[in-house]
Amino acid sequence: MIVFPDFLTREQAEGVPSPRKTSHTNCKGKVLGMKIDVVVVGGGPAGLSAALILGRCRRQVLLCDDDQPRNRASRAIHGLLGHEGLPPSAFLEEARQELTRYKSVSFRGTRVTDITPAEDGFAFDCADGTGGVASKVLLATGIVDDLPDIAGVGDLYGVSVHHCLYCDGFEYVGKPVAALGKGDKGADLAVMMKHWIADVVACSDGTEVSGDAARKLKQHGIPLRSEPVVALEGTRGLLTKIKFKSGPDLERSGLFFSTGCHQASDLSLRLGCVRDEKGGVITDPATEETSVPGVYVAGDVSRDVLLVSIAIAEGAKAAVAINKAFLRRDGFCD
């Protein structure tokens, strides 16, 4: 991974105009020095895609990422044209390398800890001491999956225990799997999985399912195990059996769960961005901005379709919207 120790040092070394050094104050009265066009918070597919487009638009961009991608436990990316089966780490490394071509884009391996309105933009602070003012903010901070609180999950997650049927379901065609979720969540997931996989068992983990869910399970020939799940067993990341508080063990090759997820960062909340009922940040379809002018989002933080390909597209779309806003500001377009 290529990390440049200081934004100004890289710009000076490569002969690109340095970020403007002017005096700015944030809403807390803190004096700030570095002035850039855009700070991109999060260096996953969405943030990297946005940085690429903004770099090609010759915008001064600082991309900050703390190396905690949602899919870091996965062995491979699926459903991404041209990169099918590529390990997530290899994808990120390749994308970061591509960004080094654009001299106005810099990368720092750090977490953005605070963003507040400033005199003519947004003041930002990072865990490594980096700080400054950006005219625009792009939040590509992603989400975190809520792993089931079951012994053994951590050793299997990303290899044979998964959260995304679209990402990993195809690999289990012809294999025995389970769908885990409280109440109707596991049952609904099991019914959907039946299209991909013939041998599916629904696990409600000590909770009851509704009459409608039970009817659907019976209609599709899906068994239900309602006993509490106490452990998952396997070797080298490969699930072999599910153990219940009572009743026989269930031999399975894979498990998909529906236990929810949450925003990886509270920056959008602290900035006052309006969210929908699922917790996703709402954007204006005309400007792509959030409810806070100058703040944009892309990728899983929007909580729309949670695929790498969609995150890349959302990052590019947000970057184009940001550049158009700059062009309007500077009188280059209406």
- Using DSSP, state whether 224 is helix, strand or coil: strand
- Residue 133: DSSP 8-state: E
pLDDT of the residue at 74: 82
* SS3 state of residue 35: strand
Q: According to the model, what pLDDT value does residue 22 have?
A: 42
**What pLDDT score was predicted for residue 33?**
55
Alpha-carbon distance of 254 to 160, in angstroms, equals 5
Tokens coding 203: 């696990």
What pLDDT does 296 receive?
97
> In the prediction, which pLDDT does 202 show?
98
- Residue 297 pairs in a beta bridge with 139
Q: Among candidates 254, 243, 49, 84, which has minimal Cα distance to 164?
A: 254
Average pLDDT per block of 10 residues along the chain, 334 residues long = 36 40 44 80 96 98 89 83 91 95 95 93 94 96 88 95 92 97 96 96 98 97 98 96 97 94 89 88 92 92 74 95 97 92
- Closest to 151 measured CA to CA, from 253, 256, 244, 252: 244
Secondary-structure percent of the chain, ordered helix, strand, coil, rounded to 5: 30, 30, 45
Residue type for 79, please?
Answer: G
Report the DSSP beta bridge partners of residue 243. Answer: 231
Picking from 63, 88, 140, the residue whose alpha carbon sits closest to that of residue 303 is 140
pLDDT of amino acid 301:
63
**Over the stretch 107-159, which tens digit does the pLDDT of each residue have?**
999 999 999 999 889 999 999 998 999 999 999 998 888 899 999 999 999 99
- Residue 18: predicted pLDDT: 41
Report the predicted TM-score, pTM, of the whole model to 2 decimal places.
0.85
Instruction: Give pLDDT, residue 155.
Output: 94
| E strand intervals along 194-259 | 200-203, 224-225, 229-235, 238-244, 250-251, 254-257
- Identify the pLDDT of residue 26: 45
Amino acid in position 127: A
Confirm if 273 and 281 have CB atoms less than 8 A apart: yes
How many angstroms from the chain centroid is the CA of residue 170?
22
Alpha carbon 103 to its chain centroid, in Å, reads 26
Structure tokens at 7: 């934004």
Please give the single-letter amino acid code of residue 85: G
User: What tokens appear for 283 in the block?
Assistant: 């954007």
Model pLDDT, residue 27: 45
d(CA 229, CA 47): 37
Task: Estimate the crossing angle of helix 45-56 against helix 88-99, to 10 degrees.
Answer: 20
Rounded CA-CA distance 39/52 in Å is: 13
Cα dist. 293→121, 137, 169, 298, 325 in Å?
A: 10, 10, 39, 15, 11
> What is the pLDDT at residue 9?
35
Q: Residue 255: name the closest of 330, 177, 314, 181 by CA.
A: 177
